[in-house]
Structure 1
Amino acid sequence: MKIGLLGLGKMGANMARRLSRGGADVLVWNRSHEVAESLAQAEAHIAACASLTELVAKLPSPRVVWLMLPAGDATEMALQQLAGLLSAGDIIVDGANAYYKDSQRHAAELEERGLRFMDAGVSGGVWGLANGYALMVGGGADTVAEVTPFIKILAPGPETGWLHCGPVGSGHFVKMVHNGIEYGMMQALAEGLSLLKGKQEFGIDLAEVSEMWRHGSVVRSWLLDLTAEFLKSDQTLDAIAPFVADSGEGRWTVLESVEQGTPAPVMTLALMMRFASQGKHEYTDKLLAMMRKGFGGHGVKEGI
């Protein structure tokens, strides 16, 4: 029960903690070695490695190395380095948010070198350490079977909260769609609560409404639980900037709907609203104001 884990961001570090507390020995590597050292000092069964070479050398064969790195260059570089260090039959698991087509490509490239690849969509956020992580995995049956002991530690329960979805790519595909649904659910809750807030003459208490909805209502959910919790202390949110980032999986979900020709209007519009929150609608709105002035002589509000 020894595994290597690369990347100690919020998710990666807590996954290392959960693995170690579940009985696994975890060798960790992070770009900032101080982070790895600090984690190793605070947790039993976690050892910090100063290099990927050291991490690979300390793992028994067949090795299992789990990546929790940002999609793109960081993951590509780590895979290239690992490919030159690992031996035939070793397993690499990409557990970060990644485009499923990239995962399929990675599997094919690593297979040429005798290495096995598995993709794992991981959900659970900062609550995963205590509650477990929802895991959507893709890969060959034999490969998944060898990694299953670690998956069972990470999941909410040994037999619950995780699924072998299919071949390589399927795990990240299911997680991609999961995140698209998440965008839509978040947008609907936010819009609904905004409508309630806007009806000022009713004096509706958003905290009380969201708390009531948590019990027996059709829209009860973990997202509603989280919303009800922060509304208890702050309903105006005056200190919060109206900026909502998008991690990439919402975009990939919308692109998939276009490729399939399968309508996904709710998820698409939720993604567009995130773009709007990032200020990417401002020039569009200026054009609209000028068009309205042009055809109707309507006034234009001067900017600062």
Structure 2
Amino acid sequence: MQLGMIGLGKMGGNMARRLRRAGIEVVGYNRNTDATDSLVAECGLIAADSTEALVNLLQGPRIVWLMLPAGDVTESYVVSLSERLQPGDILVDGANSFYKDTVRRGAMLADAGIHFVDAGVSGGVWGLENGYALMVGAEATSFSQVEPLIRALAPAADRGWVHTGPVGSGHFTKMIHNGIEYGMMQAYAEGFALLKGRTDFNLDLAAIAESWRHGSVIRSWLLDLSADVLGGDQQLEDVDAFVADSGEGRWTAMEGIEQGIPTPVMSLALMARFSSQGQQDYSSKLLAMMRKQFGGHAVPSTKD
């Protein structure tokens, strides 16, 4: 099987590596040629020096997968590829795109006879070894064509992925997934801040986090990552308490308003991220370190 991939950053590059391990031929294009060159040497990726060259290197019907920043960058590539791909080809958007944009793009491509698939991808920098959770929106015929790719990227062929429904549903599901993530991270961060604040008990936060990882009803991968952080540095004095928001938390909060469904935990978690930007509180420092652990997001130091 053959796939074209555009965008070979941290996640895109690791996805290409995982696909190559599964024996799938990957033709890749990235504006930074260093990323492409390293993948050529490491796993036999076929490099293209432009999107046009990438399309020409693929056999029809083509499958092209975008792993680009959501928003204007993804929009520009979707428009550009709509003029280069042929009827029957498939374009997959693996970015955290806003689902309403995805629905619009799917309709635009359908008018040209091009199939659109939206794939919400979770797994961060650990996905290469552990596999990725995939939430895929697509019509049935399109999904059947990309299903071997989904199975190869998932933690196992029979789990960790779901065909959520029509175009737009994958990115919608991923948006809600990230909203839940905001709330879980905030709860852990606030809880450990309270533990740290009781200085008279001299609590060992690393030991507590480690104990909670086994048998506790609040165990999770986010707790595992928090335990790793605290095991290395409980004070976090050199961590800048600036917690960025990716956009999906905002969209989830707005979706709650549009549907009239209360989402106070997810919405307040988003507000907490806003409030972190300029305040050096402990919970925000731990939040920042959690984001670094699972997603590789940069964390500024107070020494910078």
TM-score by length of 2: 0.91
CA distance in 1, matches of 2:225, 2:126: 11
Q: Return the offset for 1:279.
A: 3.4
Equivalent residue letter for 1:204: L
CA distance in 1, matches of 2:229, 2:196: 15
CA distance in 2, matches of 1:279, 1:228: 25
Match of 1:287 in 2: none
Match of 1:253 in 2: 252
Q: Identity of paired residues, percent?
A: 59
- 5+ long unaligned stretches in structure 2: 280-304
User: The residue matched to 1:220 in structure 2 has which SS?
Assistant: coil
1:165-191 per-position Cα deviation (integer Å, ceiling 9, x unaligned):
011110001100000000000000000
Q: Return the offset for 1:70.
A: 0.4
Match of 2:10 in 1: 10
User: The residue matched to 1:89 in structure 2 has which SS?
Assistant: coil
Match of 1:186 in 2: 185
1:1-304 equivalences under 5 Å are: 1-44=1-44, 46-279=45-278
CA distance in 1, matches of 2:37, 2:106: 31
CA distance in 1, matches of 2:163, 2:148: 13
Q: Return the offset for 1:8.
A: 1.0
Aligned residues: 279
Q: Return the offset for 1:61.
A: 0.9
Q: Return the offset for 1:38.
A: 2.0
The structure showing larger relative contact order (alpha-carbon pairs under 8 Å, at least 6 residues apart) is 2
User: The residue matched to 1:26 in structure 2 has which SS?
Assistant: strand
Runs of 4+ in 1 over 4 A off after TM superposition: none
Q: Return the offset for 1:119.
A: 0.3
CA contact (8 A) 2:241 2:278 kept: no
CA distance in 2, matches of 1:184, 1:48: 40
CA distance in 2, matches of 1:261, 1:40: 50
CA distance in 2, matches of 1:170, 1:76: 18
1:200-247 per-position Cα deviation (integer Å, ceiling 9, x unaligned):
001110000000000000100000000001111100001100000000
CA distance in 2, matches of 1:225, 1:137: 27
CA distance in 1, matches of 2:109, 2:277: 38
Q: Return the offset for 1:72.
A: 1.1
Q: Return the offset for 1:48.
A: 1.0
1:91-110 per-position Cα deviation (integer Å, ceiling 9, x unaligned):
00000111000100000011
CA distance in 1, matches of 2:168, 2:225: 31
- 5+ long unaligned stretches in structure 1: 281-304
